[in-house]
Amino acid sequence: MLEFDWDEENVRHLARHGVTISEAEYALENPTLELDYQIVNEEERFVEVGATARGRVLELVTTFRGWKTRVVTAYDADPDIVEEYHQTR
């Protein structure tokens, strides 16, 4: 089970995309499709696609803060990414 790093900033950022904490956590605690790895401002970021309990497919950008997973942002995946995700599951 993952431990998450939440604060007002990343919760507010998710809310701008209509994503809840529980949706993001559920998507990451279940099988994901890894899309990309980036370095932004000297910080490693991972781009993954995962589904919520209701089947909403999200693109999630995460990093690590110590041993905790920090969700930088999450938003609805583009249709082509949704199709790719479903093909791999």
Q: Where are the beta strands (DSSP E) in 1-89?
A: 33-40, 43-51, 57-65, 68-76
For the record, the structure tokens of 12 come out as 């507010």
pLDDT in tens, 37-79: 999 999 999 999 999 999 999 999 999 999 999 999 999 999 9
So where are the chain's domains? 8-88
Note the pLDDT tens digit of each residue in 17-38. 999 999 999 999 999 999 999 9
